Structure 1
C-alpha cells in the first residue's frame, strides 16, 4: 500500500482538490490518499463545486489537521503551498517530499464569475500536477 499525504495551510481548497484527483487517478491501485492542513478551515464549497464540474465528488471530504496522521507511514508528502511546506511537521518515515506552490483560489478577489474561473484555473493546474505525479509513481 502506498500512503500519500497532501498538505496545505487549511485543508480547504488546494489539498482537497489534489486529494480528489489523486484518488481518481489511482483508482483500483493499492494507494491510500490523505489530505490535511497545518490548520483546519473546513472544505470550501467552491472547491466542491469546481470538482463536481469535472465529475469528481469531494463533498464527503473533511478538513483534517496534519497531527491526526502522525502515526501513518507515508511514502509521499506533497505540499501544495509554501506555508505548509515551511510548517510541515517531521514525520518519522522515509517519505519522499514533493512541493509545488499553487495559488490559493479562496484568496482571489473578484466577482462571482471571475472567482469561478480562478477556481477552475487552479483546479486544472492541480489536475495536471496530479496526473504527472501518478504517472511517475507507476
Structure 2
C-alpha cells in the first residue's frame, strides 16, 4: 500500500486484490436467519475469487442455507493499516473439474484437523480503505470540505 498523507484513503479494486493476495487469513461472515457468524479462515486468492477448505460443521451448514457471504481481510502495522471487504457467493466444490482446478493451490489447513471440502467464494464486490495512524487533530485544525 502506498503511503498517503490523508488519514483514510479509498483503495482501488486492483489495490484491494493485491493486498488480499498477500495475506492468508481472513474472516468469513455468514448469515442464517437472524444469526450472523464470523469465523477465521485461511484462504488463497484464485483469480477474482477466494478458496478455502473446511470440514463439516457450522460454516458448511450455513453455506448450504445462504450462499451470500462477506469476507474481511486486514493488516495493522505500527503507523498504518488497511481493511478490505469482499462480498460474494460461496459454494462447495464438488465436480471433478472444480476439484482439479484447485488441487495445486497452496492451501493447507492451519489447524491440524480434517478439512476435506473446498469452498469457492465468487466475489462480486470489493472495497477497501487504507489508514494512516496518528494523533487526533484539534477541531480548529480541521477544515471542512
Larger radius of gyration: 2
Q: Which has the higher strand share?
A: 2
TM-score computed with the length of structure 2 as normaliser: 0.28
Q: Which has the higher helix share?
A: 1
TM-score computed with the length of structure 1 as normaliser: 0.29
